[in-house]
Amino acid sequence: MTAIILDGLGLANELALELKQEVNSLKVIPVLKVILVGNDPESQIYVRSKEKRAREIGINLEVVSLPETIEEREILDLIDRFNKQDEVDGIMVQLPLPQHISYHNIINALDPTKDADGFSAVNMGKLWLNEPNFIAPATPKGIMTLLDHYHLELAGKNSVIIGRSNIVSKPLASLLLARNSTVTITHRQTTNIIEIARQADFLFVATGQAEMVDKSFVKPGAVVVDVGINRTDHGLVGDVNFSEVKQVAGYLTPVPKGVGPMTVISLMEQVVSHAKMREENGAKSD
Amino acid sequence: MTAIILDGLGLANELALELKQEVNSLKVIPVLKVILVGNDPESQIYVRSKEKRAREIGINLEVVSLPETIEEREILDLIDRFNKQDEVDGIMVQLPLPQHISYHNIINALDPTKDADGFSAVNMGKLWLNEPNFIAPATPKGIMTLLDHYHLELAGKNSVIIGRSNIVSKPLASLLLARNSTVTITHRQTTNIIEIARQADFLFVATGQAEMVDKSFVKPGAVVVDVGINRTDHGLVGDVNFSEVKQVAGYLTPVPKGVGPMTVISLMEQVVSHAKMREENGAKSD
């Protein structure tokens, strides 16, 4: 038996075509501002993949490159300006930020409706509480879209998340719980992690440790979602040992071409959705 | 073997004495506004137990009783007024609210620093994300205080929560994760709930179903925290079958006199802490 591979890139390409048609039918042009501080080479790779998708779809993505030494105050002023500009649909701050800048201050300064990454406390809180009108972080949102595409039903199933990051694991837990899955969050201090992982119908791995999850973690037939992206001597790999786990899992996301493209397309969906709302509101006030 | 009973009432009484001394040493008087809509008899019981504690400690608790038919707008105006009044340290809205009023609108209108229950999206989000300066909901906060008092270490242990309410289970999960516990959230759609519960070192029960958790759910020696309060023909009972579970558990909270008094005292701690901050800020601006 070998796992069915969940084709994130294929689905993202399909969704990009649909989004392009949606954008063509709009009178307004969706605008996304990406704030990039410093010269982290990883960040630049991520930003380029977003630029490529945005161009394809017809989103006006502007990268605002700021020097490593910029003061927090200046970024806050810039955010304040974008918050007030009606034509801006989304603002995102590429992570990581330099040490002297408070991530919390920056992210919570975003207008919640323009917080394209959904990382602000108020969006995270609304998502956790199942309130209406939140923005879900792109990675967990993209994972849900991918699982839905393959008709993988979460309700009543055991979901186990390895890792507890704010940007992936916690919002993922919120979404899984809203889908009526039983949710376990494990982390470095979990003592019996393999035993817990082996009970998962859905296993989500977001640890940042290359290929740490081997087949001993996986119940036969389980759905395994690999959120990791690690650059190694033998190329890009995930947090899951792909060749081993694909012999045991029922479904498995590859790295690359799995969760990564779904993250980018989810961000774009968010921006287009804000632009549609803006057009509707504009039409109403005409 | 019989479980050690976690004496919530005893600890709450001790903490009340300490809080009273703190309040005596303040120049300002802590003020808590409790908004009570309609005539729900349960709500009135809960409000009275808060009034009693507040009086003991020296907190000025004012109950604002509003008719069942009041419009949402009027409650929002009232909250706006309390938000602006410097001398108000905390505002809480007794649940449940009548159907025609949006709980989300009301709760998210509170100034986050005066949101004494910590139920607003921004406070819940900050807690979930481990950001500084949040207000933790009183019940989970009280549970942590109780466990700490008995030196029950959560790190690396398996915590299982039965129930997924916004006001108890979700913020409890946030706090447990921040304490480095492995956290599982189960609910009505969980299929193998007994099997999961039996793996818990810490079992938290908040289902609102009288005595649903019997000894089959409990690993010998586990810590069992009962958040339920159910009025039955044979008096107040929790969500745990106390007489059965106490034969198996290592530690167990009683109902009443367990989590309930810890919830009330945690709310009072929150109000006093805001009053202290207000006094310090006032002193600075003198």
Does A265 appear as a known binding residue? no
Same domain for B90 and B33: yes
Task: Label residue A132 by pLDDT band (50, 70, 90).
Answer: confident
Same domain for B92 and B194: no
CATH of the domain at B55: 3.40.50.10860
Q: Where are the beta strands (DSSP E) in A81-141?
A: 90-93
**pLDDT digit string, tens, across residues A60-96:** 999 999 999 999 999 999 999 999 999 999 999 999 9
Same domain for B146 and B251: yes
Instruction: Show the domain range for A219.
Output: 138-260
Same domain for A181 and A79: no
- State the burial class of residue A155 (Cβ atoms within 10 Å of its Cβ: 0-12, 13-18, 19+): exposed
**pLDDT digit string, tens, across residues A141-192:** 999 999 999 999 999 999 999 999 999 999 999 999 999 999 999 999 999 9
Structural domain count of chain A: 2
Residue A1 reports pLDDT greater than 80? no
CATH of the domain at B185: 3.40.50.720
> What pLDDT, on the 0 to 100 scale, is given for residue B89?
98
**Mean pLDDT confidence for B76-91:** 98
Same domain for A76 and A33: yes
Nearest to residue B168, comparing CAs of B187, B182, B181, B152? B187
Query: How far are the Cα atoms of A145, A238, A249, B248 from residue A12, in angstroms, in the given order?
Result: 10, 19, 23, 52
Dihedral pair phi/psi, residue B244, rounded to 5°: -75, -50
Greatest Cα pair distance in chain A = 61
* Residue B10 domain flag: no
Task: Label residue A253 by pLDDT band (50, 70, 90).
Answer: very high
Which residues, listed in sequence order, are joined to residue A115 by a DSSP beta bridge?
A91
The mean predicted confidence, pLDDT, of chain B is: 96
Contact B160/B203 with Cβ under 8 angstroms?
yes
> What pLDDT, on the 0 to 100 scale, is given for residue B133?
86
Same domain for A204 and A166: yes
Task: Label residue B285 by pLDDT band (50, 70, 90).
Answer: low
> What pLDDT, on the 0 to 100 scale, is given for residue A156?
97
* Residue A44 domain flag: yes
The residues of A assigned a catalytic role are 50, 94, 117
Residue A286 reports pLDDT greater than 60? no
Residue B199 reports pLDDT greater than 70? yes
Residue B284 reports pLDDT greater than 90? no
* Residue B1 domain flag: no
* Residue B126 domain flag: no
Which residue in B157, B174, B184 is closest to A182 by CB distance? B184
> What pLDDT, on the 0 to 100 scale, is given for residue B114?
97
**What is the ipTM metric for this complex?**
0.95
Q: Report the percent of chain A where pLDDT is more than 90.
A: 96
Contact B119/B71 with Cβ under 8 angstroms?
no
> What pLDDT, on the 0 to 100 scale, is given for residue B234?
87
Residues on chain A touching B177 (C-beta within 8 angstroms): 164, 185, 187
Residues on chain B touching A185 (C-beta within 8 angstroms): 173, 177, 182-184
* Residue A167 domain flag: yes
* Residue B118 domain flag: no
Question: Strand order of the sheet with strand A31-37?
Answer: A60-66, A31-37, A90-93
**pLDDT digit string, tens, across residues B147-172:** 999 999 999 999 999 999 999 999 99
**Mean pLDDT confidence for A189-199:** 97
> What pLDDT, on the 0 to 100 scale, is given for residue B266?
97
* Residue A20 domain flag: no
Q: Report the percent of chain A where pLDDT is more than 70.
A: 99
Contact A60/A30 with Cβ under 8 angstroms?
yes
**Mean pLDDT confidence for B235-247:** 97
Which residue in B128, B181, B190 is closest to A125 by CB distance? B128
**Mean pLDDT confidence for A25-54:** 96
Task: Label residue B231 by pLDDT band (50, 70, 90).
Answer: very high
> What pLDDT, on the 0 to 100 scale, is given for residue B28?
97
Residue A285 reports pLDDT greater than 80? no
Inter-chain CB proximity B166 and A129 less than 8 Å = yes
Does B266 appear as a known binding residue? no
Whether residue B117 lies in the annotated active site: yes
